[in-house]
A and B are shown apart, each in its own frame.
Chain A
Amino acid sequence: EVQLVESGGGLVQPGGSLRLSCAASGFSFRSYSMNWVRQAPGKGLEWLSYISGSGGGSTIYYADPVKGRVTISRDNAKNSLYLQVNSLRAEDTGVYYCAREGSHFDSWGQGTLVTVSS
């Protein structure tokens, strides 16, 4: 069974940083591209970043609104995906999901909540 489990969320002060993790199991992690998506309270889904799987040449994409403040990475040996978010602002508050991409987002984690507040 495919499982994605996010962690690393919590309460952070404005200007701070956070590193989110996504632990994958039940599939060949290295073979799949992965994504981060967030959802502000009461709002829609916002795609943040993509990283390719093996054979993709470590291709990375970022959404324009977060480019320069977030860094996506992966450790295939640990079956883990990461998102480093810097210079956090109140508008970064929300649930952050990781999602497996098999040409579409076919599996999602349960999300980790990030709250940016003083």
Chain B
Amino acid sequence: DIQMTQSPSTLSASVGDRVTITCRASQNINNWLAWYQQKPGKAPNLLIYKASNLESGVPSRFSGSGSGTEFTLTISSLQPGDFATYYCQQYSLDSRTFGQGTKVDIK
């Protein structure tokens, strides 16, 4: 299976900060990458698909970039509702692996 490695595991930030999360794939996945936000006790929510496409209804402060094996999720100005855990996921070939998650908490 393709392995996905996210960094950092935890990120402390303040409202208004620019936040970047990185995800690396163990092999080339082209742009078959999604980002999800999950809050405690809730199902994950899709933010970005095909590496850089914003899901309908998701605020434009969220953006994604990258291709091949290196990807980033950027939140341009962190809002109170953005404190959550973020996961990347590859969906190429015969597996759908998630990264281990990045928890964004209040500094």
Contacts and interface: CB of A to CB of B under 8 A. Distances in A.
To the question of whether A and B form a pair in one complex, the answer is yes
B87 A104 contact: no
Interface in A5-47: 35, 37, 44-47
Nearest to B103: A44
Interface in A89-118: 97, 101, 103-106, 108-111
Given A45-B87, A50-B96, A106-B55, A63 B43 contact: no
Contacts of B46: 104-106
Contact of B34 (A44, A97, A105, A111): A105
Contacts of A111: 43
B43 A47 contact: no
Given A105-B36, A108-B43, A111-B43, A63 B101 contact: no
B95 A63 contact: yes
Contacts of A109: 43
Nearest to A97: B43
Nearest to B55: A106
A33 B22 CA distance: 28
A2 B49 CA distance: 18
Interface in A49-78: 50, 61, 63-64
Contacts of A104: 34, 46, 49-50, 89, 91
A108 B47 CA distance: 13
A108 B91 contact: no
Contacts of A101: 91, 96
Contact of A64 (B1, B34, B36, B99): B1
**Interface-centre pick from B45, B50, B91, B97 (highest chain A CB count, 10 A):** B91
Interface of A: 35, 37, 44-47, 50, 61, 63-64, 97, 101, 103-106, 108-111
Interface of B: 1, 32, 34, 36, 38, 43-46, 49-50, 55, 85, 87, 89, 91, 94-101
Please provide the 3 A-B residue pairs with the shortest distance between their CB atoms, ordered closest to farther: A104-B49, A108-B43, A104-B34
